[in-house]
Amino acid sequence: MKLKFTKMHGAGNDFIVVDAIHQDVSLNAEQWRRLADRRFGIGADQILVVERPVLDGCDFRYRIFNSDGGEVEQCGNGARAFARFVSDKGLSTERSIRVETMKGIIAPRLEDDGSVTVDMGAPRLDPAEVPFDSAGLGGWAEGEDTTWPLPVGGKTVFVSVVSMGNPHAVQVVDDVDTAPVEQTGPAIEAHARFPQRVNAGYMQVVDRHHIRLRVYERGAGETLACGTGACAAVVAGIRRGLLDSPVRVSARGGELSIAWNGAGQPVYLSGPAVTVFEGEVEI
């Protein structure tokens, strides 16, 4: 079976994007994983699938598969690529669209400067919604936030937990370049306190409107940027009294901008969405 795809990225977080409206895209986890494999397949952090909406009032349905083949709830950098793709392919003539995901509705908007701004919806701040098992852990109140002492590799790391539809554990580090992302990222990602695993964020506060961020992503490993990770880090930083909206997020693959005005309010994610090449593959 032939599959048409477009290779894209958002600040270096790279994607295979497929139109499942005009072609049959019924693949299993092993086939998704193989497509995302950087040697045996096309190679990508995630695969983004464009479908007709199910919910009234939505323009599209947006499905996301990590490079390990698992389907997940949300992808912020992917949402920008999704909006660029449906516009470039003529699937939509609107600048702003409403897109349903596994956990909620997001609203990307194409900007005049070529960037895309996405209303990512409101963060979920109750640990049980992340989900995170905090039973018996004893968190520390920091501003409006709580940091949780997580035993990792014989040490204790202090994480904030936030859901953007997908789960995030964010810790503050002095310098992202020397942060032990490779050493502790896998242990946090698979930590038993996160029943659905978790994206592990390492945030360096540069000033109240600027952070540097690395994320060891659930189901993909460290990526050059993580959109929902940037949202979660800024939400945690604002709640801990370390940051003020808007916040510039410097990731290894590029710059993102996050704005959030407090609990119950949507998080806005802005950044690039780039098409690299188009192709067709036999699966």
Residue 227 touches ligand API, criterion: CB under 6 A: yes
Among 218, 249, 257, 272, binds ligand API (CB under 6 A): 218
Q: Which is nearer to ligand API, 91 or 102 (CB)?
A: 102
Q: How many residues bind ligand API (CB under 6 A)?
A: 19
At its nearest, how many Å lie between ligand API and the CB of residue 56?
Answer: 26
**Which x/- pattern over 189-208 shows residues binding ligand API (rule: CB under 6 A)?**
----------x---------
Residue 115 touches ligand API, criterion: CB under 6 A: no
Phi, then psi, of 198 in degrees rounded to 5: -165, 155
Q: Which is nearer to ligand API, 76 or 272 (CB)?
A: 76
Catalytic residue among 50, 64, 75, 176: 75
Q: Which is nearer to ligand API, 49 or 226 (CB)?
A: 226
Residue 160 touches ligand API, criterion: CB under 6 A: no
Is 58 an annotated catalytic residue? no
Confirm or deny that 278 is annotated as ligand binding.
no
CA–CA distance, 239 with 145 (Å, rounded to integer): 5
Residue 101 touches ligand API, criterion: CB under 6 A: no
Nearest of 101, 111, 213 to residue 168 by alpha carbon: 213
Confirm or deny that 46 is annotated as ligand binding.
yes
**Which among 18-26, 132-140, 219-227, 250-258 is the span making contact with ligand API, rule CB under 6 A?**
219-227
CA–CA distance, 27 with 44 (Å, rounded to integer): 16
Confirm or deny that 199 is annotated as ligand binding.
yes
Those residues with Cβ within 8 angstroms of residue 195's Cβ, 6 or more apart along the chain or in another chain: 131, 133
Question: Chain-centre distance of CA 84, in angstroms?
Answer: 17
Confirm or deny that 77 is annotated as ligand binding.
yes
Q: Which is nearer to ligand API, 45 or 59 (CB)?
A: 45
Confirm or deny that 261 is annotated as ligand binding.
no
* 167-172 and 199-207 beta bridge pairing: parallel
Which residues inside 41-100 make contact with ligand API, applying CB under 6 A? 45-46, 66, 72, 75-78
Is 226 an annotated catalytic residue? yes
Residue 171 touches ligand API, criterion: CB under 6 A: no
User: What does each C-alpha distance from 219 to 42, 64, 198, 213, 236 come to in angstroms?
Assistant: 17, 11, 9, 18, 22
Kindly list the residues in this chain that would bind ligand API in the complex (CB under 6 A).
13, 45-46, 66, 72, 75-78, 166, 199, 217-220, 223, 226-228
Residues belonging to the binding site for substrate are 13, 46, 66, 76-77, 166, 199, 217-218, 227-228
- Positions marked active-site: 75, 226
Residues belonging to the binding site are 13, 46, 66, 76-77, 166, 199, 217-218, 227-228
